[in-house]
Amino acid sequence: MSLLSDVASSFEHLKKIEYRIVLSGGKNKPLEQIDLNFYDEDLFHILGLQHLTDIAIPKNKKKLISSINSGLITDEYLEKSDYYDNDELSYNIKHRIELASSIEDYLDSNIFSISIFKLQHDNRTFIKADYLISCKRNDSDEEYYIFIRRRKNEDYYGIVSCFPKSKTSYWGGKRYLMLKEKIEDGNKEELFRHQNYKD
């Protein structure tokens, strides 16, 4: 299976899942709840395809998965871009695509922290996000950043960017994880509960 086909398949499964994350900003501060879900159009920026500016990629983000499944967009086509398999962007787009099929594993991980994201002009980032998740699949794994933002006219949040940590570090206002739940096909799985958290 090609990289893109593997990502498209794993993302189709991810679309059936929601995560509920409850955070505390500290003593006597109101809890914050994040309900995270996944739409077809999220995948375009998850893969970083906007950075492959020297090849023509269909701009209809909602049809990206069908374009991959139909063979309109392939690994071989992305390889034609000079930005695909190098470190021009301080992280490798090919490597970013390789990791995208493991987003569920990253979100399920016990090595997981989340903070209020602060736009960092010194890092020249243009990512507009509400929260930054930093996670690893295991102790020896590389750190992975997931940026999420509230969807327009919705109570849900979506991923706006994600990639492995490289030379650039990102940070935000500290939050304490109180609860993390995974909801799939109506079944709720508790992934983490802080000892002081009560519904």
Would 48 be classed as within a structural domain? yes
Domain span including residue 14: 3-193
User: How much is the pLDDT for 171?
Assistant: 75
Instruction: Please indicate, yes or no, if residue 198 is contained in any of the structural domains.
Output: no
Place of tokens 């750190």: 143
pLDDT in tens, 117-152: 876 555 556 788 999 999 999 999 999 999 999 999
pLDDT of residue 28: 85
- 152-167: pLDDT as tens digits: 999 999 999 999 987 7
Q: What is the pTM of this model?
A: 0.91
CA distance 51 to 175: 31
Number of structural domains the chain divides into: 1
The alpha carbon of 72 is separated from its chain's Cα centroid by a whole number of angstroms, namely 24
Provide the pLDDT for residue 77.
Answer: 96
Residue 181 lies in a domain: yes
Query: What pLDDT sits at residue 172?
Result: 80
Which residue type sits at 131? Y
Q: What pLDDT sits at residue 167?
A: 72
Which residue ranges in the chain fall short of pLDDT 70? 1, 88-91, 119-125
Whether 199 is in a domain gets the answer: no
Compute the C-alpha angle 78/79/84, nearest 5°: 80
